[in-house]
Structure formats: structure tokens, C-alpha cells
Amino acid sequence: MGKRQEIEISTAEAKRQMDIISQLAHHIQGKNLKFCITTFGCQMNAHDSEKIQGMLSKMGYSETDKEAEADLILYNTCCVRENAENRIYGKLGYLKKLKRANPNLLIALCGCMMQQDIVLETLKKTYRHVDMIFGTYNIYKLPELLQTRFETGKPVIDIWDSHQDIVEDLPNERKYPFKSCVNIMYGCNNFCTYCIVPYVRGRERSRNPEDILKEIHALVEDGVKEIMLLGQNVNSYGKTLDIPMTFADLIREVNKIEGLERLRFMTSHPKDLSDDLILAMSECDKLCNSLHLPFQAGSTDVLTRMNRRYTKEQYLALVSKVKATMPHIALTTDIIIGFPGETEEDFQETMDVVRQVRFASAFTFVYSKRTGTPAATMDNQIEEVVSKDRFNRLLDLVHEIQVDYMESFIGHHTDVLLEEVSKHDPNLLSGRTSESVLVHVKADPSEIGKIVDIKITGAKTHYLIGECL
């Protein structure tokens, strides 16, 4: 399909859904209906939930964080690891009771977990109190699905097995007025052998740069200071566009936007992180001082079986290149422990990478077997006790290095975007440094949304303590 035609279809589709939103708003008006949404998983899901919130608010629903008060409960699900799925099934059991107490309650499930046949079968058989199920490709259809549910009174299940067009310009409700995520691409073509994402989020496709820039301009005009560009593998942005564009050039364009103060992106795949991107990162003054670069495992043998397409040495060389250009950059990473066949020696290679790179922080995971991925049927699945023991040793090392990193801020000044009143102390505000490190500081709530100069006076493993100047 040509680009022109695709744009026309997506605009027409957005308009159709907006018309349905208006009709539903009529129906919902005066009923004081509330929705409660719970999001599992990554930033991509969090951003999808903002789109859902935007559509529901336009219909006249108000949001509540209490499920017992809600007329519509939504779970935006994740299936990257098994425990995320188990939590959803657990919650669904509890919702059965709520539904018995309030038969008008609607329960909707969406997101990655719904894209798996086995999950759909289980839901249809065992969780028949669910009213609406949709997937990752058709979130924008929510108004239409809800309308069908209201009209027929029957469960609505709509799961697509691939994407159609990218639908632009639907409402979107930001969690913070001053920062926002922006999708630049969807899906993933990498097929790491442990990962279910390519199966539930489909093939890689990039949004047109004009649409991305238009969205960011509008967000900045609306008060946004910080943008996070989102994709499963942002470094391969633009390769499939009619007129290809590199990610480096995209961030150069975004960096020019007046009024924008901070720019972030995630996630980067090491195999696609080009020299030009490193150059662009050092040139673009709005880019934050951090880079999330998952390495997953230290042993080249494990990396090969993971289909990561780099060696331990290549990863370390890449990190050296990044650090040579940006010596103070905060590197963060994802690590998986207990991949099939991982030996103690392989594990020591992972520890070695952590020691050499000295990550500012790391997300550590125990390997979780995902049905349908190549790793699920590999020999030598690792026993839980072995994985847990390695996991704990890794966590100790990661924390030890993290504490050193956090302490290195003490006595220094740093810019912090103040984001909200601290969840633990109403006298404190919480914010983030350019490195994305959490800071608590005594300040007036009127300062929320501002980037202020803070002196760091103390450090814990997961946050800093500062003083406003």
C-alpha cells in the first residue's frame, strides 16, 4: 500500500472512532461513569494506557484508582515473563466477586498477553466474566468495541494477528503535563530467542518523521518539557520507511524543536547502535545524559543462543566508544539470568561485564520460559534454585556498584525536573536528574514541572536527597 493511501485510511479511521466517541459521550452523559485502568509491563504499555485514558475521558468517563468504585475495569497486560501473566489471572479471580456485586460492571483486557492463542482459550473457558478483549494492534478501536458491547450486551473479542495502518491523532491523556512518551516505531524484528515481543507486537514499522515531529511540536506547545522516544529497537528506526531516515537524524530534528528541554529514548539494541548515533548524541544538547543498552548476558556462547548478534567483546568495545565520547553518561542495562544452558562460567562472564561497565543501574530478570519462543524448547533449562542463587549474587554486585554511582553525586549540583509530591513524605518533591536518577527534595509543590538546580546532600541505593538553592 502506498504511503499516501495509508495516511488517508488512518485519518479516516481516526475520524470514525472520534465520531463513535461523540455518540458514546451522549449515551454516557450524566451517568457519572468511572473507569479504573491497571497497566502491567513496559513504557510502551504505559503509553498505550494513556491513549485509552484519553479516549475514555473524551467519552465522559472519569478515572478512579479504586476498582470497587469503577463501572469499567481495564487491565493492559504484559506477557514478557510468566509472573506478569499469573498476576493477571489472580486479579481476574478477584474481579468475579466484584462483578457479582455489580452486574453492570464491565471488565476489559488488552495488551500483549491477549495476543496469545492459549491465553484467549483459557479466558474463554475459565474467565467468562470478561466483557471485552482486544490486543496490541487495535487499541484505537476501543470506542467501537465499547459501543458494540453496549448495543449487544454480549462479550466482544477482537484480536488481530498483525497490524494494519498506524492510526494518528487520537486523544491521549498524559500522566504528567510536563513530560510525555512518543512512539516512533512499533514491533520488533529481532527475534531474540527468549522473547515473546515479536510474536505479540508484530513486525517493525516506523512512524513517519513528519507525524512524530508534528506530535512533539504540539506537546511542547501544550507545556511538555521532556520527551521520551519509544520503540522496541529505536536504533533501527526509519529503515522501512518509503524515504528511509536514520534514528540519528530523527533525534537531530527533534533536538531543534524550540521549547523542548529534555530528550530521552529507549530501547537501544547494541547491534544497531551506530557511530553516527553516538555522534548525534554528543551533538544534541537536549539529549539526556543516559543510555539504556541491554546486554542480557556476558557469555558470547549464551548471546549466540539468544540470537543477540553481538559478542561480549563487541558489547564492551561499544561501551568504550560511548564512554570515550560521553565520559559521564549513565549507562543502564537489562540482564537475564538462567537462560537455558547457562553455566557458572557463563554467569561469571555476565558478572565480569557488570564489573567492567559499572552500570548506573540494571534491570535484572530470571529467565522465564515463554511458550512459542525458540528458547522454550532448548535443552538444559536451568533449575530455579540455581537461577535464584545466581540472581542474588548478581543483584548484590549491581547494588554495590549502584551505591558507588549514587554517592558520586554528593556535593554536586544537578538539574532536576520536579515531577510530583513524594509518595513517602508530603513535604518532599520527587524529580529526576538528566541521568534519570530519582531525587527527593524539600520544595514547594508550585515548583512541580520546573527544572531546578539542586545540590545533592545524600544518597541511598535507589534515590538521592537534595536541597533547592
Using CB under 6 A, list all residues that contact ligand 5AD.
80-81, 194-195, 294, 296, 334, 336, 365, 367-368, 370
How many Cα atoms occupy the beta-carbon half-sphere of 60 within 13 Å? 14
Q: Find which of ligand SF4, ligand 5AD, none residue 367 binds, CB within 5 to 8 Å per kind.
A: ligand 5AD
Decide if 431 contacts 419 (C-beta within 8 A). yes
What letter would DSSP give residue 296?
B
What letter would DSSP give residue 223?
T
Tell me the residue nearest to ligand 5AD as measured from the CB.
334
Considering the complex, state which of residue 353 and residue 401 has its C-beta at the smaller distance from ligand SF4. Answer: 353
232 lies in the site for ligand SF4, by CB under 6 A:
yes
Query: Which string of b and e fits 150-187 if b means at least 16 CB within 10 Å?
Result: eeeeebbbbbeeebebbbbebbbebeeebbbbbbbbbb
Closest CA to 111 of 149, 137, 81: 137
Give Cα separations from 442 to 61, 238, 457 (angstroms): 35, 43, 12
Decide if 58 contacts 171 (C-beta within 8 A). yes
Residues 6+ apart with CB under 8 A from 125: none
For the chain, count helices (H), then strands (E).
Answer: 13, 19
Distance of CA 401 to the CA centre of its chain: 25
Q: Find the binder of ligand SF4 among 191, 214, 256, 377 (CB under 6 A).
A: 191
Q: Find the binder of ligand SF4 among 167, 195, 229, 331 (CB under 6 A).
A: 195
Q: Measured on CA atoms in the order 159, 161, 164, 167, is the torsion positive or negative?
A: positive
Interacting span for ligand SF4 (CB under 6 A) from 83-91, 108-116, 184-192, 221-229: 184-192
Q: Find which of ligand SF4, ligand 5AD, none residue 368 binds, CB within 5 to 8 Å per kind.
A: ligand 5AD
10 lies in the site for ligand SF4, by CB under 6 A:
no
337 lies in the site for ligand SF4, by CB under 6 A:
no
190 lies in the site for ligand SF4, by CB under 6 A:
yes
Considering the complex, state which of residue 259 and residue 372 has its C-beta at the smaller distance from ligand SF4. Answer: 372
Give min distance, CB of 198 to ligand SF4, in A. Answer: 5
Q: Find the binder of ligand SF4 among 155, 198, 223, 341 (CB under 6 A).
A: 198
Considering the complex, state which of residue 198 and residue 341 has its C-beta at the smaller distance from ligand SF4. Answer: 198
Q: Find the binder of ligand SF4 among 109, 181, 188, 260 (CB under 6 A).
A: 188
Going by their DSSP bridges, the two strands 106-111 and 428-433 should be labelled as unpaired
Q: Which three cell numbers stand for residue 142?
A: 476501543
Considering the complex, state which of residue 24 and residue 195 has its C-beta at the smaller distance from ligand SF4. Answer: 195
The DSSP secondary structure of 237-255, one letter per residue, reads: TTTTSSS---HHHHHHHHH
Give min distance, CB of 366 to ligand 5AD, in A. Answer: 7
Interacting span for ligand SF4 (CB under 6 A) from 185-193, 217-225, 282-290, 410-418: 185-193
Considering the complex, state which of residue 5 and residue 83 has its C-beta at the smaller distance from ligand 5AD. Answer: 83
Q: Which three cell numbers stand for residue 264?
A: 530521552
Beta bridge partners of 186: 205
Would you give the binding string for ligand SF4 spanning residues 259-288, x where CB under 6 A is met?
----------x-------------------
Phi and psi angles of residue 261, each rounded to the nearest 5 degrees, phi first = -110, -35
Interacting span for ligand SF4 (CB under 6 A) from 60-68, 96-104, 195-203, 222-230: 195-203
357: helix, strand or coil: helix
Give min distance, CB of 51 to ligand SF4, in A. Answer: 20
* Residue ranges in 29-141 assigned as alpha helix (H): 43-59, 82-101, 117-126
Give min distance, CB of 86 to ligand 5AD, in A. Answer: 14
Q: Find which of ligand SF4, ligand 5AD, none residue 374 binds, CB within 5 to 8 Å per kind.
A: none
Give min distance, CB of 301 to ligand 5AD, in A. Answer: 18
Q: Measured on CA atoms in the order 149, 172, 417, 441, is the torsion positive or negative?
A: negative
Decide if 278 contacts 321 (C-beta within 8 A). yes
Report how far residue 104's alpha carbon sits from residue 274's, in angstroms, rounded to the nearest whole number: 54
Interacting span for ligand SF4 (CB under 6 A) from 16-24, 90-98, 190-198, 216-224: 190-198
Give min distance, CB of 238 to ligand SF4, in A. Answer: 17
Give min distance, CB of 269 to ligand SF4, in A. Answer: 5
Q: Find the binder of ligand SF4 among 77, 233, 235, 290 (CB under 6 A).
A: 233
Give min distance, CB of 306 to ligand SF4, in A. Answer: 8
Distance of CA 114 to the CA centre of its chain: 17
Q: Which residues bind ligand SF4 (CB under 6 A)?
A: 188, 190-192, 195, 197-198, 232-233, 269
